[in-house]
Amino acid sequence: MQPGDVFAAVSRRSVVTGGLGLCALVAWPRVDEALHPGGPGRETDSPALRHDADPAGVTRVRTAERWVALTFDDGPDPCYTPAVLDILREFGCRATFFAVGSNVEAHPDLAARVVAEGHRLANHTHDHLWLDRVDGATVTDQLRRGGAAVAAHDPDGARLVRPPRGWTSRVVAARTRDLGLRSVFWSACLESALADGPTRAGEEVAARLRPGDVVLAHDGGRIAGPNPQEIDRSRTVEALPRLLEQLRRDGLRGVPVQDLIAAGQAGESSEV
């Protein structure tokens, strides 16, 4: 491979259970075990399993730039998104917000602020359903409706999608590809380290980052609708300045994942 190739390889340290961060969670009853490349009862909760299901998905990017992608899921949320935006502005960083379509529709002012401040939106489905356990028609509907909500504020942003919790399947990958979209996963998760406290979490996660990493965090705690959640993200907000301070000390720049992908080549790699 040449510098700039997009690839799905990532350190095994990113396979986490994450506590409140929900980066990788316990098993859940499924609709169709045959959808899962890992076999019955297995989530795609590791980079290897995600890559097996969706080889075109992005986990990190090989690039000569000293950039890492900052990504935030589950918003926009009036409880946390404004604070995250304020912190990003303070440190001069930009990010991608993988937004839930129903939250975009409920808080269009926040979605507009995200874009106005130089960040990007991307598709996190309309209702935050677990895509690996619904039928293909529902997958397509969730991607289309979530993308439409995002495209109202950031038309190009809707081309990237992150399946909730990173749980995917070959069916999800096929429906994503059929819609001309591309999945984005992550190589590091801020919430995975919160058990050590917000201060240490931000510093520890940032210290392990290398150019091309994709960082997962969350700006959304509340999701209404068919798959509701209510999660306290205040510790993520508290940890974020520490992470960004460490990035600055290490000479790394936080950018939207769209910019990181553009800094690499367009092809995929089979490395895992």
Alpha carbons 206 and 200: distance in angstroms, whole number: 10
Q: Out of 36, 51, 128, 218, which one is annotated catalytic?
A: 218
**DSSP labels, 37-70:** TT-TT----SHHHHHHH-TT-BSEE--SS-EEEE
Active site residue 73: yes
What stretch of H or E contains 98? strand 96-99
Alpha carbons 230 and 12: distance in angstroms, whole number: 29
| SS3 category, 184 | strand
Active site residue 232: no
Say if residues 79 and 229 touch (Cβ distance below 8 Å): no
**Integer CA distances (angstroms), 163 to 12, 62, 106, 136, 227, in order:** 20, 22, 20, 14, 14
Q: Out of 54, 73, 74, 213, which one is annotated catalytic?
A: 73
CA atoms within 13 A on the CB side of 115: 17
Alpha carbons 121 and 99: distance in angstroms, whole number: 7
| SS3 category, 148 | helix
Residues labelled catalytic: 73, 218
